[in-house]
Amino acid sequence: MEREKMGGPVEAPLEAILEEERVFPPPPQFREQANVRDPQVYQEAERDPEGFWERWARELTWFQPWEKVLEWDPPWAKWFVGGKTNLAYNCLDRHLMGPRRNKAAIIWEGEPGEVRILTYWELYRQVCRFANALKALGVRKGDRVTIYMPMVPEAAVAMLACARIGAVHSVVFAGFTADALRDRIQDAQAKVLVTAEGLWRRGNILPLKEYADQALEACPTVEKVVVFHRGCKEKEQVPMRRGRDIWWDEAIASAALQCPPEEMDAEDMLYILYTSGTTGKPKGVVHTTGGYMVGIYATTQWVFDIKEGDTYWCTADIGWVTGHSYVIYGPLLCGATTLMYEGAPDWPQRDRWWSIIERHGVTILYTAPTAIRTFMRWGEEWPGRHDLSSLRLLGTVGEPINPEAWVWYWRHIGGGRCPVVDTWWQTETGMIMITPLPGITHCKPGSATLPFPGVRAEVVDERGQPVPPGAGGYLVLTRPWPAMLRVLYGDPERYKVQYWSRFPGVYFTGDGARRDQDGYFWIVGRIDDVVNVSGHRIGTMEVESILVEHPAVAEAAVVGRSHEVKGQALWAFVTLRDDVVAGPSLEEELREHVSKRIGAFARPDRVIFTPELPKTRSGKIMRRLLRDIAEGRALGDVTTLQDPEVVRSLKEQYEHIEGG
């Protein structure tokens, strides 16, 4: 283990912290109260992994016990074979017998400022009513229901109602266009669509029902559409098709307040979630009931150190797997209070998140590095306006976090007192796979640290052989885990080829990584984000991290461009801090900065300055479009971008460079 320190002064210069504080041990006060205080949990899980997961399963309610923990015939897995359970029952009913009955299950805040609190009892009743409403609309066990909703409590109600009656939900991110929604409905062959007339975003209204109607022109399997009235428009202004469309409140008006949970086999399908594929066609990742339930329950308890009095906020949208596992199902399985926020982090001002944390007493915050880097760019004065002392744990998810952002988050949001759990996992894994355990793990900024107990990961070379410490390679998972995907919906062959063919019997994540001398994992990004420059394999994430360390840089995205001599060259797209002026001298300074930190072979050929990077509405940088720009290709689909004008401006800048 590298040199340990207890943190040093929180107000020390950021560069000094990055240089000196290589290892951050758990704060003593946190460690004393942590759910996991004994490092032996790793050895115990390794000695008997099936027994480890079985112990977690026994903490949940099963209508019929399992006969076998795991059947493994690579690449096909079955967990808790023969067991019968229901995820919605475990999220709701089992909490109603004690003091959690009247505990807040969901705290919701809308972008315009409304606040609603649903207790476990109230959420249970709403779920039962909507479950009965779905049954009245003809939905049966195994039917697919597409959910295209804002971040409102009714989205959680719809998911839980589907789980209660055995319907398979397919949540589609509300930022997707009509075409994307259509493709997902068609692939799932959904019977019912649940949507709203609109949603609020930065004071504007996105017309969800309008997009849904466009999509449904080519979706003959959809028989009914349930429309929740968000309040963006008067009901009379919303077009409703007679015989197909029904308002949410009308659908539940006569529905009973109790709905018996369907007894689901552990391997019955729970949900389909579509994720991008390298071919362009979305992949329908299938998760089943029992193993997924156990995996997210265990990881929520240990990674987030959930306590009875916590108010937990994961900022993800329910349209992504993080929203499924760690906004809705994981927290509710643990009997926690989960917070949902509908809107943008900068509406009406850049301190909206910090205001929410202060007003609701949030204790755990789980968000994305992209958001953290944005906050860094805006400056620490915004969080500095609010009392964030309620926070006791911070987390990151979605992409590797650069060390500077990690330390900024720890210092300015956590006040230097909160552990930071940097988590790695995927839509396909269903649950967190590599992560600190905050009461025992000594964290290194930028490293996701170690596999969760019971999970086995490795970094291998082209032949599938483990690489030595410090060497880069492919991240693989060498043992099945409970929440793993079971198949790609309707395409088992693609499932086998994409995830299990490169290294037979081993799950290929598609990510590159390295391990250090302490066994810690450092994720370097997707394999297709590794650029080969003159024979050197360079992870673009690594270059981005170096650029963001520079005091002038707020955010960076690096892509490869074809080069007739080198094979590929690096182009860096950089957003500067508000008080910095772009210019040729700064471009050369940044190129030299990378050269000094990594090597001359990693020096970007060009640094392109831009006020904003092209991002989806969920905040993800669209590197595919940056590659199109760098290569001079026609731009791909820009309909999911937060601001399509950003990429058009970059395209014009590229044409000026090439023309000059």
Q: pLDDT band for position 642 (50/70/90)?
A: low
- Determine what percent of the chain is predicted with pLDDT higher than 70: 92
Tens-place pLDDT, residues 85-116: 999 999 999 999 999 999 999 999 999 999 99
pLDDT given at position 32: 96
pLDDT given at position 649: 75
pLDDT given at position 641: 61
Q: pLDDT band for position 3 (50/70/90)?
A: very low
pLDDT given at position 251: 98
Q: What contacts 24+ positions apart, CB below 8 Å, involve 61-68? A: 61/85, 61/89, 61/90, 61/93, 61/94, 63/263, 64/263, 66/266, 66/290
pLDDT given at position 12: 61
Q: What is the mean pLDDT of residues 155-160?
A: 98
Pairing of strands 144-148, 168-171: parallel
Q: What is the mean pLDDT of residues 517-537?
A: 81
Tens-place pLDDT, residues 229-253: 999 989 999 999 999 999 999 999 9
Q: Give the range among 14-23, 187-196, 539-548 with minimum mean pLDDT.
A: 14-23
Nearest to residue 371, comparing CAs of 407, 338, 346, 340? 346
Residue 420: CB atoms within 10 Å = 20
Nearest to residue 455, comparing CAs of 427, 474, 483? 483
pLDDT above 50: residue 562: yes
Q: What does the alpha-carbon distance between residue 435 and residue 438 come to, in Å, rounded to a whole number?
A: 9
Burial of 239 by CB count in 10 Å (0-12 exposed, 13-18 middle, 19+ buried)? exposed
Q: State the DSSP string of 70-100.
A: EEEETTEEEEEET-EE-HHHHHTGGGTTSGG
Tens-place pLDDT, residues 465-476: 999 998 889 999
pLDDT above 60: residue 605: yes
Q: What is the 3-state secondary structure (H, E, C) of 277-304?
A: CCCCCCEEEEEEHHHHHHHHHHHHHHHC
Nearest to residue 225, comparing CAs of 251, 258, 203? 251
Pairing of strands 507-515, 487-488: unpaired
Residue 594 phi, psi (nearest 5): -65, -45
**Of 533 and 485, more confident:** 485
Ranges assigned E (strand) in 120-198? 144-148, 168-171, 192-196
Residue 387: how many CA atoms within 13 Å on its side-chain side?
6
pLDDT above 90: residue 587: yes
pLDDT above 60: residue 9: no
Q: Is the Cβ–Cβ distance between 552 and 593 less than 8 Å?
A: no
Sign of CA dihedral 293, 334, 195, 427: negative
pLDDT above 50: residue 5: no
Tens-place pLDDT, residues 34-73: 999 999 999 999 999 999 999 999 999 999 999 999 999 9
Burial of 505 by CB count in 10 Å (0-12 exposed, 13-18 middle, 19+ buried)? exposed
Single-letter code of the amino acid located at 466: P
pLDDT given at position 16: 59
Q: What does the alpha-carbon distance between residue 212 and residue 193 come to, in Å, rounded to a whole number?
A: 9
Tens-place pLDDT, residues 395-437: 999 888 989 999 999 999 999 999 999 999 999 999 999 999 9
pLDDT above 80: residue 279: no
pLDDT given at position 350: 97
Q: What does the alpha-carbon distance between residue 219 and residue 180 come to, in Å, rounded to a whole number?
A: 12
Q: What does the alpha-carbon distance between residue 28 and residue 14 come to, in Å, rounded to a whole number?
A: 23
Q: pLDDT band for position 631 (50/70/90)?
A: confident
**Of 601 and 404, more confident:** 404
Q: pLDDT band for position 254 (50/70/90)?
A: very high
369 is written with which tokens? Answer: 């590095």
Q: Is the Cβ–Cβ distance between 121 and 354 less than 8 Å?
A: no
What proportions of the chain, in percent to the nearest 5, are helix, strand and coil?
A: 35, 25, 40
pLDDT given at position 37: 97
Angle at 180 between CA 544 and CA 157, to 5 degrees: 95
Eight-state DSSP code of residue 529: G
Q: pLDDT band for position 645 (50/70/90)?
A: confident
Eight-state DSSP code of residue 326: I
657 is written with which tokens? Answer: 């460079």
pLDDT given at position 659: 61
Q: State the DSSP string of 564-608.
A: TTTEEEEEEEEEE-TT----HHHHHHHHHHHHHHT-GGG--SEEE
Q: What does the alpha-carbon distance between residue 283 and residue 275 come to, in Å, rounded to a whole number?
A: 5
Question: H-type helices in 501-583, by residue range?
Answer: 540-549
Q: Is the Cβ–Cβ distance between 182 and 199 less than 8 Å?
A: no
pLDDT above 90: residue 628: no
Q: What is the mean pLDDT of residues 131-136?
A: 98
pLDDT given at position 599: 75
